[in-house]
Amino acid sequence: MDKIAVLIPCYNESRTIRKVVSDFRRELPEAVIYVYDNNSSDHTDELARDAGAVVRYEYRQGKGNVIRSMFRDIDAECYLMIDGDDTYPSENAREMVSGILEQGADMVIGDRLSSTYFTENKRPFHNFGNVLVRGLIRTLFHSDVRDIMTGYRAFSYEFVKTFPVLSKGFEIETEMTIHALDKNMGLRNVVVTYRDRPEGSESKLNTYSDGWKVIKTVWKLFKNYKPMKFFGAFSALLLLLALALFLPVLVGFAKTGLVERFPTLIVSGFAALAAVMSYFGGLILSVVTQQEKQDFEFKLNQVRHWKNNLNK
């Protein structure tokens, strides 16, 4: 088992990968640096290998697929994940690793948004998207995480080996954050400086399509992790609709003794039935979710046992 593993997912980062590997070798000389090449066509893998990294390959396209392979393949006491585009400073690496190894955190988040991100990043819609996603997660999950989509993170062995990677693309960071919040894992925040990509280096993140995937991921995970709140909200809306449709019928009946709007009454009844079904669906799913949390704690204990055996 490695003491520290630096994980660098890469796709066509030939302009920056040599510098990134060299910087992190300097800051963490005891670490093993892994570069996972994701079908690059610009010799990123050769440059990384020349700089001293262990190069491996993931042929399924997408950052989520790369991280899935990294987490499965590598055993380490501490994992430090960094993008290969040289936008994050290596100077914060030691502090982030210490958060895992010395302070017992499960995930340390490199917070760009509290420092230079909004002045360095030249893509205004990326700025808006980061703020939107942060606001959504703070509201839906009652968290104080300041940077949801940062690619600069450190992880414990327990987090890596119990995190189910479901996303295939850039929404993976959002999935990581929500998983950690839901499972009450230890989080720490480290403010890091951010610099925009150097000239000639292009972002692989599509502002609109990938942004939409992130928003969908937030709502999907809210449904999965907080089913009572999700379906309870729908139940309340349907109940209000049922009442809004039923009250005019009731008033008319009180005045004339006749039901003059049968179609409205029928729709009101179906809306009320749907509200009841939504409520009990959320209730049942919340019991299932609670059981999954209990199973997760048992799994976490197993993973810690495996870690202790690996260290013997």
Domain ranges of the chain: 2-225, 227-311
Structure tokens at 105: 């955190």
Distance CA 195, CA 119 (A): 9
Q: Read off the pLDDT band of 227 (50, 70, 90).
A: very high
pTM of the full predicted structure? Answer: 0.82
Q: Read off the pLDDT band of 221 (50, 70, 90).
A: confident
Identify whether the C-beta of residue 8 lies closer than 8 Å to the C-beta of residue 72: no
Distance CA 230, CA 234 (A): 7
Confidence check: pLDDT of 118 > 80: no
Least confident of 2-6, 153-157, 171-175, 284-288: 171-175
Confidence check: pLDDT of 155 > 90: yes
Q: Which of 75, 82, 64, 66 is nearest to 7 (CA)?
A: 82
Whole-number pLDDT of residue 123: 57
Mean pLDDT computed over 174-190:
92
Distance CA 283, CA 199 (A): 53
Distance CA 43, CA 9 (A): 14
Whole-number pLDDT of residue 30: 96
Sheet of strand 187-191: strand arrangement: 54-57, 32-37, 2-10, 76-81, 153-156, 107-111, 187-191
Amino acid at 225: Y
Higher pLDDT: 110 or 209? It is 110
Mean pLDDT computed over 216-224:
87
Identify whether the C-beta of residue 36 lies closer than 8 Å to the C-beta of residue 70: yes
Whole-number pLDDT of residue 69: 95
Identify whether the C-beta of residue 134 lies closer than 8 Å to the C-beta of residue 109: no
Rank 96-105, 170-179, 186-195 by mean pLDDT and report only the highest: 96-105
CA 8 from centre of chain: 17
Mean pLDDT computed over 171-186:
91
Burial class (CB in 10 A: 0-12, 13-18, 19+), 53: buried
Least confident of 41-50, 156-165, 269-278, 301-310: 301-310
Confidence check: pLDDT of 124 > 90: no
Element (H, E) at 77: strand 76-81
**Contacts for 298-307: CB closer than 8 Å, 24+ residues apart:** 299/162, 300/158, 300/162, 303/157, 303/158, 303/161, 303/162, 304/158, 306/161, 307/1, 307/77, 307/157, 307/158, 307/161
Whole-number pLDDT of residue 197: 64
Confidence check: pLDDT of 251 > 70: yes
Fold of 2-225: Spore Coat Polysaccharide Biosynthesis Protein SpsA; Chain A (3.90.550)
- Average pLDDT along the chain: 88
Whole-number pLDDT of residue 145: 87
Measure CA of the first residue to CA of the last residue in the chain; give whole Å.
Answer: 10
Identify whether the C-beta of residue 311 lies closer than 8 Å to the C-beta of residue 3: no
Whole-number pLDDT of residue 198: 66
Q: Read off the pLDDT band of 40 (50, 70, 90).
A: very high
Least confident of 10-14, 154-158, 247-251, 257-261: 257-261
Distance CA 220, CA 230 (A): 10
% helix, strand, coil for the chain, step of 5: 55, 10, 30
